[in-house]
Amino acid sequence: MLDIYFDSAATTKPCQAAVEAAVKAMEEYGNPSSTHFRGLAARRIIENARGIIADALGCGADEFIFTGSGSESNNLAIIGAARARRRRSNVIVSTDSEHPSVEKTLEYLESEGFQVIRLSTKGGKLDINELREALKQKVALVSIMRANNETGALYDIAAVRREIENSGCGALFHCDAVQGFLKTQNRGELTRYCDLVSVSAHKINALKGCGGLYVKKGTRLQPIIWGGGHERGLRSGTENTPAIAAFGAACRDWLSQKDRVQAITALRDYAEQRILKELGDKVAIHRPPECVCAILSLSLAGVKSEVALNYLSGEGICVSAGSACSSHQKENRVLYNFGLKKEEVDSALRISFSHMNTKEEIDLLAEYLKKAVDKLAR
């Protein structure tokens, strides 16, 4: 059986540097908040990783905190900022295609009395006119992702910042960059345009269970986890030293390869061409105007997503039908809001890439997608 992995938007295979860093950090088992030599050794590991990741983001080390996941970072940024600014405004502006860790958090805040305005993202593009209209009032927070985890659509965060500044609404700008961090050509854009940025380790070949949040200096948040006051009082709980070490090592590994984004982009483009050549009108590619390097969304004619997934998995090929965090939901709101028809949503697959993939694997993927349609289409 084959062993081919095209689900890197769900999680990436840990790189060797991350594995080695995590194993080495396990030897420094002291609590990083302890002041004896064991604790200080663990603290040095954490601060070294913090410096590497902050440098990649283009911010100060004192502006970056560690969390337990990208989802936790999104929760802290959105709830923490909304509650801290509630006296100023109870209005939050977001989109209709955010990750569940943002959308569910917004629904929770609506139950607390916040007003949430969701902008259209039809075709994978922000409706700037809707944004401009939404900002004609005091706004507590704008939360818009950089790269969509289902379609790969890149949203124009520079334009969002421009509209916030021009409106005078006074909003903070949070960006869920879990899928976008290190995967665009402009590495410093996130901290240039945003006040809060969520990232996650396991999307860049580190370990699960570790995330981070950029908090621009002077930005006030209310914590959502209370305890010993770790991470500048914003995220209590003993830090996961091995996972943090792996995060820093994976980040350094990404930065050491100057052409990694171009290489992944080339794989995605090759996959699109190869699949279209193999399947012709039996496949529909859903390509937004601007797309992150690692994601390709498509629909197979006449084959339900679950059926195609099971067939490919049985042959040793891993893909997904969309966000792993949305896998238990009956309706895919993101694809519907993108503008797909029901039959396209029902047969949608997400192919996602890493630098570890090869053209030979893509050739096999295209071959087996054709076999799936020929064998399973109804």
Structure tokens at 53: 């990741």
Report H helices in 58-146.
70-84, 100-111, 128-134
Helix (H/G/I), strand (E/B), else coil: 213: strand
Tell me if residue 77 falls in helix, strand or coil. helix
Q: Which of 15, 59, 194, 325 is catalytic?
A: 325
- Residue 117 one-letter amino acid: I
**Which residues does residue 147 pair with via DSSP β-bridges, in sequence order?**
154
- How far apart CA 324 and CA 179 sit, in angstroms, is 13
Q: Which helix (H) or strand (E) holds 249?
A: helix 241-256
Give 3-state DSSP helix, strand, coil % of the chain, rounded to 5.
45, 15, 40
Cβ–Cβ < 8 Å for 175, 190: yes
Main-chain phi, psi angles of 116, to 5 degrees:
-115, 125
Q: Among this protein's residues, is 15 annotated catalytic?
A: no
Nearest to 81 by CA among 144, 163, 140: 140
Given a contact cutoff of 8 angstroms between Cβ atoms, the answer to whether 239 and 227 are in contact is no
DSSP conformational letter for 227 = S
Task: Provide the terminal-to-terminal Cα distance of the chain, rounded to the nearest Å.
Answer: 26
Q: Is 358 exposed, middle or buried (0-12, 13-18, 19+ CB in 10 A)?
A: exposed
CA distance 67 to 103: 19
Q: Which amino acid is at 148?
A: N
**Active-site positions?**
325
